[in-house]
Structure 1
């Protein structure tokens, strides 16, 4: 269920990240046939809260408002601070009571302080992933993704990735048509490809040669073909070791992980927009067979290809069972 939504703010809050929660869940779009949410903003205390931009936001509710929520969106704040214990208690109680929590950007540090990231994968803004991992060693930080869904805890990367995470949760709980409708009103993509590594500035040594961009483009157009590190390195006239190092510099990940991510994105698109059998999709995407595709779907997305198709495909393709 997704009806009652609370956005949580702290002092030195970031207005854009609060605005994401307000825009997705705080507007009544019922005239477009979209759900209306019972939306509220809560903080460690009612009253004015400072923003990092220098103005204040009047917050009407304290931590007690969190208890009624189906979803708690923890917005961004400075990470160089302690977090009020009553607020952390309210977050823990919300999850124990069946609510989902979603952090935007540095809001992940609040969830970490509440112990809600322990034993789960997570992410945050790329500038802070190392610090999140250092402070909370019981979470596995994913530095190269836009969001991580470890139900009931969802964490997202910097700023606009919060939109991706919110729309993902809407799509998961209320269907692709609702998510597309909200995205259309917001004039944003209902689903964005790629991860935050593509937004990280990684200066490269001039002596390392030309960019790998042409190779990445070739790989995207040949996802169904086998591609070992040795084969890819040979295409750009590098040793496998130099190629692997250079690939990580440009993409923030390994060739295998990047290729698997691109293949999964293609599989998602085909499941959403075609009636092709899962075995055919697995072959087209370079996974070889449906069992391998199911393995990677479960590991990366926490679901199966058929369950994904039932949730997110165009209506005429949802019943496809093979």
Structure 2
């Protein structure tokens, strides 16, 4: 089983970044003393970096080209310290019909574009046929240092997994609530389509969606009391409540591979000692988040959010979020639990305003 690729999906933009200049600076776009026009002029005064593409190492990113480019840390000092950006390109599959380059950024926050490309074809269909697809490791991620690009320097734009920037930065609880409700709605659709579907391991017996939901709730209730064992000793694997909730949320991003994997996991949990521990381990491994990703997720999201800096309020906030999203409200909230003690400035960082 492959890791569901949509888990790393994020905003996608066709930008004139590497060829038209991408400003890497410690100041926000609306930095005191500089207008946007002045900042753009600083970038235009610096020659665009020359990109020398070479085949990526096969074990890293197969069938793609890689490069490392340098841009100034401070565009007012173009000969000063430089930042290295790790970049990868998936050439257009139909070069005769190629019309340009699509620059794409992995989401998360904290996702690596290079890691995303390493998992396989980034964009199938018309986009991958007619565009070279280029992605990179963003500021502080993977092989790159900090990077900031100006949004008025865009020729064409395509967005997916779009977040509301207002609620994300100024009303994080509302944003978490919306995410949790949306996740619940997607899970409901998963159950509806699974019901009676021969290709769905959980619903192949013909049970209706409400019965599948009741069976799922029973598994979750069991896991709250004690981890659910799958398989016979000595190969038994036990799945705890936290693992099970995450295994509900993450596969929902990817209907093609994630939804079938979730159905198989739930079916194996129901089988208990007769289930396959190897299959369960594989699925849990595919939906797990790495320590490196979580470190970056915490550092970025805690700098951006407006959650109360009081750890004692977390149970109360979780209970409130569970009123409309019983399973996913607390899950999305507690992903940000380190933010309760994160040493961010009281009024927030400048880039949030």
Calculate the TM-score normalised by the size of structure 1: 0.31
Larger RCO, structures 1/2 (Cα 8 Å, 6+ apart): 2
More helix by share: 1
Calculate the TM-score normalised by the size of structure 2: 0.29
Q: Which has the larger radius of gyration?
A: 2
